[in-house]
Structure 1
Amino acid sequence: MVAPGDVRGTVFIAERYDGYCCGLDGRDGPNLACAQCGRPVATRIDDCSLWQAVWLDPGAVHPVSADASPRQAVGWEDLREHRPGIPPVQPLGQWNPVWEAAVAAALAHLLAVSAGTRVTVPDGLVADTFRRALDALLPPRPPARTLALAGPGLPAVTTDIALVPQHPQTGERWAPSRAADVAPLSWDIWSYLAFHHDRRPVPGAGTMPEDARRDDPPPLTPGPFRPDWAVFLSTLARLPEVRKPWLRDIYDHVKDRPYASPF
């Protein structure tokens, strides 16, 4: 079994598209064929109730050795050009689920380095995605620790907690030049937070006739951001800090009430 994104050189078999309500379930056998010879080689599964996967037919494929030379990782200074980031909102106006998962994982790391104290978050998209969850899970009373973005291409900042990028190829965390606790965030999300400063478009009073405003409705905007509670719990469970009583209480509370605020 391999991930669908790891498959190359295949095409769907048109007469084997059967599935249940939202995708393919492989009920008719292999539904992927070799793009060159047309032989069925694998079964793609992506129905709504099943894990997305590609099951290779052991009678149709065989392993071959890959290039032994290691792939050279892109440097931090070049990543911005190669991977500019993923927008937080999808075209239809919903929060991007990739953001919901990545922010949930980073949230677990933020709690682990917060020492159980309140964390202040800068205004903007960082606040839209992190502040609500941090305020709900940490005590509102002082003292408070500061959070700021830090990483390649940004000026050095003095902060208690640095939200740093994680390299998409190596998994390495960017190390800030100034001493601070760090919480890793997926590069694709961090890059957008760091370098995109979109302003939400709102109609300006007195600048557009009423009839024109009706013809051009404002764009859809999502509701409150909700991190993925399952990713949050899975990440938090792997951190040694979860053994601390205050953090274990948060873990148990979210596990018992996964759909309560902020999830």
Structure 2
Amino acid sequence: MVVFACAGCGAVMTARLSRVALPDHSGQKYGHGLLPGLLEPGTYAVDTGDGRPWRPLQPEPEEHGVRLQTYCITGPPNRIGIAPGDVRGTVFIPERLGGCCCGWDGQYGPNLACAGCGRPVATRVDDCGFWQVVWLEPDSVRPVAVDGPVQRVMDWEELPSTPPVDQRGFWSPPWEAAVAVALAHLLVVSGGKRVSVPEGPVAEAFRRAIDSLLPPGPPERHLVLAGPGLSADITDIALVPRHPQTGEVWPCDAGAVVPLAADVWTYMAFNDDRRLVPAAYGMPADVRRDDPPPLLPHSLFSPDGRVFLSALERLAAVRQPWLRRIYDRVKAHPGMDPF
């Protein structure tokens, strides 16, 4: 376990934390309501950055020989995300808290300073539409190893499961983000060829996107679910889980692998949302009461377009002309089908 301390004065900035993988929805903006925390208390994740290997970042602008400091809510590489309740020994920086709606979105740069030395150390994000998180600045804090219980890494057979639809009948935002990231990887390994997908939740999540983004015609590639508890005999493209703690991708011998967030993969692999056909003479009222039908969404599934573009930007393969054309088309028309 570690705590993070101020790089200036050494004061402890956090509770004791264990590392987990960065969730796919870490950079997602969803709706206008207040969203819950991005990370569980007692955990931290590192965002390796929004680096785009296919396009160099623009230098900071200069006016009259003075370099202007600019900020973006995506922040610098290697920021450390933690739950807001795990922050210690910080104070707000008042001049960096304006211009938001129901909270702070971090657009003015680090808004938390070390209470001891005043060094800006972190950015709290809790505005409407953002997953609540505190991002520690990588150059302003340093990890310090501490004694504590060793985090138990769950077995592959213990992977969590998240349903795709909430109680209101809306698609889950983490699902929309996770499928968007997997879709970016699927396009890369497809090589621009048509891909078939298995019926059920995989088809519901991916088929409309494949129809919209890849050329028509008979499938030349085939996507199949693979992972713990399923057959390992995959010869083409395997849709496999990514471990929520380690970030490790399920190992298999498929021709190509597409990683998917573990909780989404588990639901796709092992949940059956088909409605039961009523038995003869109707189902008894008490049985119907205790076994309600699965929640069904009000609309077709749509991956998160902004998360999809961000995921593509991180993949060097987007330099390929056919994939760059898809990227440019989605960016120019963010509301296009299937987004």
Partner of residue 65, structure 1: 144
Deviation of residue 135 (structure 1)?
Answer: 1.2
Partner of 2:83: 5
Aligned-pair identity in percent equals 56
Once residues 222 and 135 of structure 2 are traced to their aligned partners in structure 1, the CA distance between those partners, rounded to angstroms, is 47
Change (3 A) 1:47 1:160: same
SS across alignment from 1:110: helix
Instruction: Work out the CA distance in 2 between the residues paired with 1:256 and 1:99.
Output: 24
Out of 193, 197, 200, the residue aligned to residue 117 of structure 1 is 193
- Between the two proteins, the alignment pairs up a number of residues equal to 228
Q: State the 1:173 CA deviation.
A: 1.1
CA distance in 2 between counterparts of 1:262 and 1:136 reads 7
3-state DSSP of counterpart to 1:47: coil
Which residue matches 1:98?
174
Offset, 1:180:
1.6
Q: TM-score, normalised by structure 1?
A: 0.72
Confirm or deny: 8 A CA contact 1:147 1:159 kept in the other structure: no
Q: Is the 8 A contact 2:275 2:294 kept in 1?
A: no
Alignment of 1:105-254 (within 5 A): 105-176=181-252, 178-200=253-275, 207=282, 220-254=296-330
Q: Tell me which protein shows more helix as a share of its residues.
A: 1
Q: How far apart in 2 are the matches of 1:241 and 1:45?
A: 31
TM-score, length of structure 2 as denominator length: 0.57
Whether the aligned pair in 2 keeps the contact of 1:151 and 1:164 (CA below 8 Å) is yes
2-structure distance, mates of 1:257, 1:22: 27
Residue type at the aligned position of 2:315: L
Q: Is 62-71 or 85-94 further displaced after alignment?
A: 62-71
Q: In structure 2, how many angstroms separate the alpha carbons of the residues matched to 1:109 and 1:64?
A: 32
Shift of residue 84 of structure 1? 2.5
Please give the per-residue CA displacement for 1:2-31, whole angstroms capped at 9, x wherever unaligned. 746253388xxxxxxxx99973459xxx9x
Q: Deviation of residue 104 (structure 1)?
A: 0.1
Q: Is the 8 A contact 1:45 1:51 kept in 2?
A: yes
Q: Which of 138-147 and 97-106 deviates more?
A: 138-147
C-alpha distance in 1, partners of 2:151/2:316? Answer: 32
The one-character-per-residue Cα deviations of 1:41-81 (angstroms, maximum 9, x if unpaired) are: x996522277744489xxxxx98833278955625xx2433
Structure 2 stretches lacking a partner, 5+ long: 1-78, 89-97, 106-110, 112-121
Distance apart, 1:201 and its partner CA: 5.6
**Are 2:237 and 2:254, in contact at CA under 8 Å, matched by a contact in 1?**
no
C-alpha distance in 1 between matches for 2:257 and 2:207: 17
Q: How far did residue 188 of structure 1 move?
A: 1.2
Question: 1: CA distance between counterparts of 2:176 and 2:247?
Answer: 19
1:232 offset after TM fit, Å? 0.5
Match of 2:153 among 74, 85, 101: 74
SS at match of 2:246: coil
Residue type at the aligned position of 1:80: E
Q: Matches of 2:232 and 2:293 in 1, distance apart? A: 41
In 1, Cα distance between the equivalents of 2:151 and 2:294? 45
User: Superposition RMSD on alpha carbons, in Å?
Assistant: 3.8
Structure-2 separation of matches of 1:127 and 1:244: 26
Q: Which runs of 5+ in 1 are unaligned?
A: 11-18, 31-41, 57-61
Question: Are residues 48 and 141 of structure 1, via their aligned partners in 2, closer, same or farther at CA, if it must alter by over 3 Å?
Answer: same
SS of 1:7 mapped into structure 2? helix
Q: Secondary structure at the match of 1:172?
A: coil
Per-residue CA deviation, residues 138-167 of structure 1 (Å, 9 max, x unaligned), is 011135211101111211233411011111
**Structure 1 residues 73 and 174, CA, compared in 2 at 3 Å: closer, same or farther?**
farther
Cα distance change of structure 1 residues 204 and 254 upon mapping to structure 2, 3 Å threshold: farther
The SS at the match of 1:102 is helix
**C-alpha contact 1:148 1:159 (8 A) present in aligned 2:** no
Counterpart Cα distance in 1 of 2:256 and 2:151: 29
